[in-house]
Amino acid sequence: MKQLLKTLTETYGPSGYEDAVRKLILKEVKPLADEVRVDALGSVIARRKPAKGAKNPKKIMIAAHMDEIGVIVSHVDKKGFVRFTNIGSPFGRYTLGARVHFLNGVTGVVGYDRLENIEAAVPLNKMYIDVGATSRENCPLKIGDVGAFERTYFEMGDRLVAKSMDDRSGVVSLIETLRGLKSTPNDVYFVFTTQEEVGTRGAGPAAYGINPDVGIAVDVTPTGDTPASLKMVMELGKGPCIKFRDVGMISDPRVVDWMIKTAEKAKIPYQREVLLVGTTDAHAIQLAGAGVMSGAVSIPVRYVHSASEMIDYNDLKNTVKLLTALLSKPVSF
């Protein structure tokens, strides 16, 4: 599981440009699923059919997004310095000094016009990317070129650090659940969505096509366990988080109750999540078609939307255990 996480996090796939990540996912899921297809927006949909004899199987959609935050070139000045805008929400406090890998192979370093106040937050529109060019003519980038932040995966004991843990850790959770799920009484669709970071755009059309009875997003959630963090109870190492509410959705109480009872029966540690910032694919799934009862399972992460996002390996393993337990039994509501 760690090797798969390393491979996925070190692969580049900003929103709308997920091709390389999609190829890796397809390689993993094709031997494990009964049906695999790619929809019009590029989301991978891997179906595990219900076991023979299953009575009134529920159609369950489990979604994790494959895209990551990134940048796109908006201007190149006469000295070859590159101006850019965001794809998703890279935070200025993490971006200054970062290295950016562009999909055409070029690498650059993010600089800033002038630090008048070294303690101030740095806005992206005052930054540039230096790719070693000396003029507009010899700059290897053009308007519209897309890049993602460059950082390798590494481990600190059980703490795993990489770019794009949001949401490649969720992708790994789905793949490992699919791998370990020998049979299910449900009709399960494992969906690896596109363009979540720019407005949960891939999940809605995928859900519309599947028309599930229940939807679950598997994503990350910021923690409240660092100095002077937001007042939230989520911590690394305390188990996957069962979401009650975030900015974009309120989880269906039936789904929340199902998750909590399953975790407690299987003796899987879990946390209760009320997220004060952001949302997940569950927002789009919930509103698809005539509506879907939805919830979310979240992997706690520190330093979200940086190039060094941190998770705990035990939370990853327990997320897989929880998903497996949920899908191994009939849904009774």
Catalytic residue among 18, 28, 196, 309: 196
pLDDT of residue 114: 78
Residue 84 CB partners (closer than 8 Å, separation 6+): 71, 72, 73, 74, 124, 127, 128, 129, 147
d(CA 203, CA 185): 24
pLDDT of residue 61: 98
Give helix 165-180 / helix 19-29 axis angle, nearest 10°. 20
Q: Could you tell me which of 14, 6, 11, 8 has the C-alpha nearest to residue 195? A: 14
pLDDT of residue 152: 93
pLDDT of residue 188: 98
pLDDT of residue 183: 93
d(CA 250, CA 138): 51
Q: What percent of the chain has pLDDT above 70?
A: 99
pLDDT of residue 123: 87
Label the pairing between strands 107-112 and 99-102. antiparallel
Residue ranges, comma separated, of all CATH 3.40.630.10 domains in the chain are 2-68+163-328
Model's pTM, two decimal places?
0.94
* CATH superfamily of domain region 2-68+163-328: Zn peptidases (3.40.630.10)
Residues in the chain predicted with pLDDT less than 70, given as ranges, are 118
CATH for the 70-149 domain, from 2.40.30.40, 3.30.70.260, 3.40.50.300, 2.60.40.10: 2.40.30.40
Residue ranges, comma separated, of all CATH 2.40.30.40 domains in the chain are 70-149
pLDDT of residue 27: 98
196 in active site: yes
* Cis before 167 (ω within 30): yes
Residue 240 CB partners (closer than 8 Å, separation 6+): 268, 270, 271, 297, 298, 299, 300, 315, 318, 319, 322
pLDDT of residue 54: 87
Asked if residues 220 and 298 have their Cβ atoms less than 8 Å apart, the reply is: yes
